[in-house]
Amino acid sequence: MSSLREAPFKVGGIVEPPYFVNRERELEELAQALRGLSQNYLLLAPRRYGKSSLLHNLKLRLEAEDNLIVPYVNCREIAGYTDFYRITVGAVLQEYERKRKVAGLWKRFQVVFQERILRAARRLEELGGSLREVGQVYLRFREEEVDERALVRATFRFFRDITQEQGLRLVLLLDEFQEVATFNSYLFNVLKKEMDLPSAVRYVFSGSSMGLLSEIFLREQAPLYLMVGKYTMEPLAEEEVVAFVRERFRNAGMTLPKEAAKELHRRCGGIPFYVQKLGLIAFHHALWQRSRTVSPQDIQRAYETMLDELDGEFEVRWLARFSPLQRMILKALASLGEARLRDLAQHIGRKPSDISSSISRLKEMMILQKRTNGTYALVDPVFAAWLARSDAQSRE
């Protein structure tokens, strides 16, 4: 009866096994490289490919390693340099506490943000070492003796100091790193200097906007050009998805025949978020119908429901993110499936040169991809299906 208590799928947010499809190769490659501190990484993938979950599971995998701490920071929480200082120093300290089984350091350190200066300074003296150093800079910042940029320098300096002082390796996971791309470039200049120094600190940057991230890492003039190994995540492979969803249904006391599982994979293009969402909807339908077997037709019906459920979100994306020309391009591609630049241009009655920069932009946004055969297609097949459907409906 476990089926009624716990849903077989989890939609949204970070997932762990058994809700996490292995990603074994990625995890092992990254874990191996990071254990040896061989390099820094930029993890790139479109929305909802499972970047955050991969980072989380990478952290779990490195848990057993002695003297290695792996703090995770979501850069969406960081709106400026004071946040950067507070949130990253906090994440590092809390991981340190967990690893070394000491308590209260971060709590005691936080006096620098609240207490009167003198009292805070005294508390810092008691803490000593790298904490005193980094804390004192914050107090000087509060006294307006130094500016925000000193906080940035002190933060990176602290990462290096604490590893040396405590005999640690530090791998800092910075998720949604494109969010800090809009800061002025000071942070990146300091980061570059830091990454050039010998140290036991490595970074994994992750994000889903090629445009912003390539401004930081990938263009020749970019501040962190050639400083990171680029790691791109692919959708899940068919056999992985098939095995995963069948096991999930079996666990819930239902049967998902192979053909239906393949249909589910195909509809989702292997994008993990959709795999889970479509699986969950199909599961609920089957529960209502008191059916124990899910057919390919059931998957198709569940898919229609999924498009309905995503309607509001896709609508917002559609209206907020794209220019009129980009919309024309996307609509054309959604109905053509895939097309060469020339055919696409012709389809919307423009010259290829008129649309090529819009196409580049859409590629950078990871909305469009160029296939090996030279055609363009939408990255997200569910969004494409929604577009094709709403286009057809508007013509009815």
Residues that bind Mg ion (CB under 5 A): 51-52
CB of 207 to Mg ion, least distance (A): 9
32-61 footprint of ligand ATP as x/- string (CB under 6 A): -------------x-xxxxxxx--------
Does 212 contact ligand ATP by CB under 6 A?
Answer: no
User: In this structure, are residues 359 and 346 in contact, taking their beta carbons and an 8 Å threshold?
Assistant: no
Does 12 contact ligand ATP by CB under 6 A?
Answer: yes
| Residue labelled with tokens 């904490």 | 131
* Antiparallel, parallel or unpaired: β 201-207 and 41-44: parallel
Alpha helices in the chain (DSSP H): 2-5, 24-35, 51-62, 81-100, 105-109, 111-114, 117-127, 129-142, 148-166, 186-196, 210-213, 238-251, 258-268, 272-288, 296-321, 324-336, 341-347, 352-364, 381-395
CB of 273 to Mg ion, least distance (A): 10
CB of 51 to ligand ATP, least distance (A): 4
Cβ-closest residue to ligand ATP?
A: 50
Q: Cα 251 vs. chain centroid, distance in angstroms?
A: 28
Residue from the set 40, 88, 178, 276 that interacts with ligand ATP by CB under 6 A: 276
CB of 41 to Mg ion, least distance (A): 15
Judged by CB under 6 A, the number of residues near ligand ATP is 21
Nearest residue (CB) to ligand ATP, 21 versus 73: 21
How far is Cα 44 from Cα 393, in angstroms, rounded to an integer? Answer: 35
Q: Indicate the DSSP class of residue 216.
A: I
How far is Cα 30 from Cα 12, in angstroms, rounded to an integer? Answer: 23
* Antiparallel, parallel or unpaired: β 68-69 and 41-44: unpaired
Q: Which residues contact 279 (CB under 8 A, 6 or more apart)?
A: 8, 9, 245, 248, 249, 264
Does 21 contact ligand ATP by CB under 6 A?
Answer: yes
| Residue labelled with tokens 């929604």 | 386
CB of 228 to ligand ATP, least distance (A): 18
User: In this structure, are residues 112 and 90 in contact, taking their beta carbons and an 8 Å threshold?
Assistant: no
Nearest residue (CB) to Mg ion, 52 versus 155: 52
Which residues from 77-136 bind ligand ATP, rule CB under 6 A? none
Residue from the set 3, 7, 11, 336 that interacts with ligand ATP by CB under 6 A: 11
Nearest residue (CB) to ligand ATP, 20 versus 138: 20
CB of 20 to ligand ATP, least distance (A): 4
Nearest residue (CB) to ligand ATP, 21 versus 201: 21
Does 159 contact ligand ATP by CB under 6 A?
Answer: no
Nearest residue (CB) to ligand ATP, 23 versus 202: 23
> Would you list the DSSP string of 138-172?
HHHHHTTSS-HHHHHHHHHHHHHHHHHHHT-EEEE
Nearest residue (CB) to ligand ATP, 45 versus 252: 45
Nearest residue (CB) to ligand ATP, 7 versus 127: 7
How far is Cα 324 from Cα 322, in angstroms, rounded to an integer? Answer: 7
Q: What residue ranges bind ligand ATP (CB under 6 A)?
A: 10-15, 20-21, 23, 45, 47-53, 208, 272-273, 276
